């Protein structure tokens, strides 16, 4: 974990083409194999894809004052859904991508910059993906995860994902199996209560580290 001297000032927004170089850097730290940058450029014009980045704001990158009510969780979600343009000179800490399929939001990728891990950023990105799925009236959220990635699997299980099967030899770099995981119906009262409690607990736990 990095040594924290001040609060990390963070911002969630849609990924833009200007982010791809930093996204590639984070991927290089995170995965044995990488998508080519051209793939991300195609994804940004994919009608079913939604990519979100979490950035560290610096003074020159702070968003301009906006009198409209766009702060907080719902303001953040409005910015992401509406495709608010990026600010300049931002330092990307992590990103997540989902595909809006028929009845489900499928998480296709998520990664956090190495020296900013264990600060709750991956969990915040997962929360964002579930919020987006709800905003787009998806029934469930699904994903694949490496069978050996126990930390990620524990996080997904915490958010109600269950094991839904196995894709044998799914990862081309080492032929590792992928575990298919899915949530129950995210609009159900039980899941909404679980998710709300976890989101609130996450915010309370990390409020002394980042805002």
State the catalytic residues. Answer: 144, 156
Give dist(CA 202, CA 207) in Å, integer: 8
- The answer to whether 116 and 93 have CB atoms below 8 angstroms apart is yes
The number of beta carbons lying within 10 Å of the beta carbon of residue 93 is 26
Cα–Cα distance measured from residue 114 to residue 1, given in angstroms and rounded to the nearest whole number? 9
**Six-digit token string for 59:** 């003074």
**How far, in Å, CA of 56 to CA of 26, rounded?**
14
DSSP code string of 160-174 = T-EEEEEETT--TTT
Rounded Cα gap, residues 32 and 159, in angstroms: 26
């Amino acid at each position: 974990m990095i040594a924290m001297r001040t609060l990390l000032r963070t911002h969630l927004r849609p990924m833009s083409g200007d982010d791809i170089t930093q996204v590639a850097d984070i991927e290089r730290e995170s995965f044995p194999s990488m998508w080519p940058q051209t793939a991300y450029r195609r994804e940004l014009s994919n009608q079913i894809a939604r990519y979100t980045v979490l950035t560290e704001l610096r003074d020159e990158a702070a968003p301009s004052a906006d009198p409209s009510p766009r702060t907080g969780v719902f303001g953040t979600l409005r910015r992401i859904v509406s495709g608010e343009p990026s600010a300049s000179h931002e330092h990307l800490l992590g990103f997540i991508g989902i595909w809006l399929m028929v009845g489900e939001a499928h998480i296709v990728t998520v990664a956090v910059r190495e020296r900013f891990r264990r600060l709750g950023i991956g969990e915040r990105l997962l929360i964002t993906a579930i919020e987006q799925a709800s905003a787009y009236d998806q029934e469930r959220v699904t994903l694949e995860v490496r069978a050996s990635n126990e930390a990620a699997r524990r996080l997904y299980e915490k958010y109600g994902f269950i094991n839904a099967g196995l894709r044998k030899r799914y990862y081309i770099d080492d032929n590792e199996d992928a575990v298919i995981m899915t949530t129950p119906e995210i609009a159900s009262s039980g899941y909404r209560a679980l998710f709300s409690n976890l989101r609130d607990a996450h915010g309370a736990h990390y409020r002394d580290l980042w805002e």
